[in-house]
Amino acid sequence: MVDAGPCEPTETVDAGPCESPQRQLVGTGRETDGMDLDSVAVGVPLFIDDPVSLQRGEVELRCTVVSSVSTSCMAMRFLSAVDLPCHPCMAMVILPLLLLLLVPLTAAQTWPACGESGNYKSNSTYEANLKLLSSTLPKKAASNTTLFATDTVGNVPNTIFALALCRGDSNASACEGCLVTAFQDGQEHCTSNKDATVYYNSNPCMLRFSNKNFLATNVNDNILVIVSLDMFINISTRADSFSFLLFTLLNNTAQSAANSSRRFTTSRLDVSSLPTLYCLMQCTPDLTADDCVACFQPYSQITLKYMDGRKGGRLLGTRCSMRYEIYPFFQGDPMLRIISLVSELPPTNNTMPPVTLYPPPQSQPHSPDAAPPPPEAQATTQELHGTEIVHDQAATNRPEEDALVWRLEEKSSEFTLFDFSEILRATHNFSKENLLGQGGFGPVYKGQLPDGIEIAVKRLASHSRQGFTEFKNEVELIAKLQHSNLVKLMGCCIQGEEKLLVYEYLPNKSLDFFIFDVSRTTLVDWNKRCVIIEGIAQGLLYLHKHSRLRIIHRDLKASNILLDQDMNPKISDFGLAKIFSSNDTQGSTKRVVGTYGYMAPEYASEGIYSIKSDVFSFGVLLLEILSGQRNSGFHQHEDFLNLLGYSWQLWEGGRFLELLEASIAKEIHAAEARRYINIALMCVQEHADDRPTMSNVVAMLNSEGVILPEPKHPAYFNLRVSKEDESGSVLYSHNDVTICSNNDVTITEEPDGR
C-alpha cells in the first residue's frame, strides 16, 4: 500500500493525517455474471470486511457469494482528495469515498464507518463509559428542540466524544429510539472499535462516537456518497440544462438551511419535463451560518460531478448532509418550493454558473472561500417579505427559465402553491360558465376550492413574454402585502406554459362595471363613492409610503379597482408595477406601458415615472367617479375635449356642479363637490411637482374645513379627440409626441427591469 502523504492518494490509499480508510462497507446487489455497472440491480445487504483497492478513476464491481444461487455486489468509485478538499488535520474516509449503493435499498439499511484509532477491551472503563453515554445522549438529543446533542464522558485515556443528530423532520420519540439503535448498531458492526459513525437509509438519525476529540473542529468527516444508478431518459442531450436545475435546487436549499435557526431545510423543485425533485439538507445546529455554507460548498461540486442526470443521491457527513430524490422522502410539506418556469429542457451550450451559495451570510459578505455570484445574479436578486426571485447567469438569456423561489418556513404564511389539477377542478376545466372576464394578459375565471372558498383565477396567456413579466411582478409584489384595499393574492400555479394567479373572489366585479353603465350607476350612491374614493387613496398611500418597499402601480384605472360584497375597493393588477427603495423618488424607462388615458404626461412623453405618476392616475379616476364619464374618448356636446379639459373648463367658469353624474348630483352638497373636484384637478396638474402626494390627498379628503389651493391647468387640457375612430381609439398630438391607444386598453411592452 502506498503512503499518500497528507492528502494525495495514488493507487490505493493510506490516508495518513486524514485518517485511515473505512474498513467496513455496506452494499447491495443481486446475482451477477459479467454484467456492467449500470445493469446491476438490487439484492440483499452485504458487509464487506476487507479493504478494497481501486485504481484512481476506476469503477470496480466487488461481488461476494452469499448463497449457492446468489451473489451480492457493490459498485464503488475512488474519489481523490483533489475532488474533495482535505486538510492535514481533517479526519475523513477516503476509501471508498464514493459508494454507489444500488437502489432501492432495504428499509432499515445501516451504513457504519469504523475508524482505526484502536479497540477497547471487554468490561473495560471505555466500554463502561460507552454504555453510560448510550443511555444519556439519546435522551439529551431528543429533549432538545433541534434534536441535536454532543457530550464528553470519562477521563483520558478513556474519554469518549460523541455527537448525535436527528433529521429536522423527525420527532423526539423517533429520534431517541433511532439513537438508541444507532449505539447498538455501532457496537455491533464496529465491534470493540473506539471510533464509529452510523448512518441509516431510512432511520432519521446519525451518530458518531470516538476517542478523538472531533468536536473541537467543524470538520465534516466520514463522508459517504450514495448515488442512484437510475438515469433520467435522454438527459444526455440536455445535460447543461439539467445541471442548472440541480444547481438551482442545491444552491437554494443549502442557502435556506444555512440561514435557518435549526440549520435544516426541505425543498421541492417542479419542472414539467421531469419528475418533481425533492431535497433535504441539514447541518449540525452548533455550526454558524458561515460554517454551514462552508460545509455544503464541496457538496455542490461532488453532486454535479457524480449525480448529474441521476434520479437520486446522498452525501452523508458528520457535520452536514444532503439528499435528493424523485419522490417525497421527508415528513410534511417542503419548507422551500422552487418552481422552474421552463417547460422543457432544451439543449444548450451555456456553461454552468459557478457553484456558489449566494448571497453569502451577512457576517462574512466578502468571504474568500465562496466566490461571489455573477453580476447578473447580484443585480437581480430581490427579497421581499419572505419572497425571493433568483435570476442566475444561466437564465439571463431565457427569462422563462427564471427560478421562482418561495420561502414557506413561516407557519403563518397564507400563500399557497396550487397544483394544476386543483385549479382545473375548481374552475370546471376553465368552462365558459366560469369565465368572469378577459384581461389584458388573459381570461379570469371563477372557481371554488373543496373547502367552499371561492377564488378568481387569472390564466395568463401562453407563450407571452408580457404574461410572464406580469406573473413574476404580481407574485413578487403582492403575495405578502397586507392591506384591506389591496386585492389578496392567495397563491399561484405553474405547469409548463400554464401560469395562473389565484386571488380572493370579489363578487361585485370592478368599478367600471358600475360607474360607466347608466343602468347600474344608481347602485353606487354618493356615500358608496366616498368610501370607494377613500379606500383607493388609502391603498395607494400604503403602496407609496407604508409598505416595506415603495411601489409604483403604473396602471391605476377603474377596471383595476375590484369591489367586495360591501362595495369596498381593492386595487388589483400589479403586473406593470415598479419597486423603489424608500430613498428613490423617480425612475425612467424607454418602454412606456400602461393605459394612456391615465398616464401622467412626463411618463407618456419621456418615460419618467414616480409616485406622482400614480397620483395623476388617481386624479383621472376621481374625475371619472364624480362624472360617470370615461376620460378616453370623452366628448361633451359639440366640444370634443377630454374629461380633464372639460372639467377644467367647468372649473374655470364656476360651473363645476355640471360635472357631477346625474344620480349623485342631488345627494352632494356644493361645497363637498367643489372640494372633491378641486382635489382631482390638483392631482392631474401638468407638472409633477405641483401634484400632491397621496398623504396630502388623504389628509385633504378628510379635512372639510381646510381651504385648498387653486389648481393649475391639467395636462392635456387643450387636446382634442379625433372623431375618425368610432370604436374609442384616440389620437393625442402634443409637443411632437404622438400616442395611439384603444379606450381603456393597457398597452404593454417588455419592461426594462425594475
Residues with catalytic annotation? 555
Three-state DSSP state, 55: coil
CB-side neighbour CA atoms (13 Å) of 376: 12
Give, in degrees to the nearest 5, the angle at Cα 685 between 684 and 687. 125
DSSP state string for 216-269? GS----S-EEEE-S-B-TT-GGGHHHHHHHHHHHHHHHHHHHHHSTTSEEEEEE
Three-state DSSP state, 401: helix
Q: What are the grid coordinates assigned to 690, written together?
A: 405641483
CB atoms < 10 A from the CB of 528, how many?
17
Three-state DSSP state, 618: helix
Peptide bond into 374 cis (omega under 30): no
DSSP state string for 651-692? HHTT-GGGGS-HHHHTTS-HHHHHHHHHHHHHHTBSSGGGSP
CB 238 within 8 A of CB 346: yes
CB atoms < 10 A from the CB of 326, how many?
16
Peptide bond into 359 cis (omega under 30): yes
Three-state DSSP state, 283: strand
* Distance from C-alpha of 23 to C-alpha of 13, rounded to nearest angstrom: 12
Tell me the angle at which helices 125-143 and 172-189 cross, rounded to the nearest 10 degrees.
160
Cα-to-chain-centroid distance, residue 177: 35
* Distance from C-alpha of 49 to C-alpha of 64, rounded to nearest angstrom: 11
Q: What are the grid coordinates assigned to 172, written together?
A: 423526539
* Distance from C-alpha of 277 to C-alpha of 323, rounded to nearest angstrom: 10
CB atoms < 10 A from the CB of 656, how many?
21
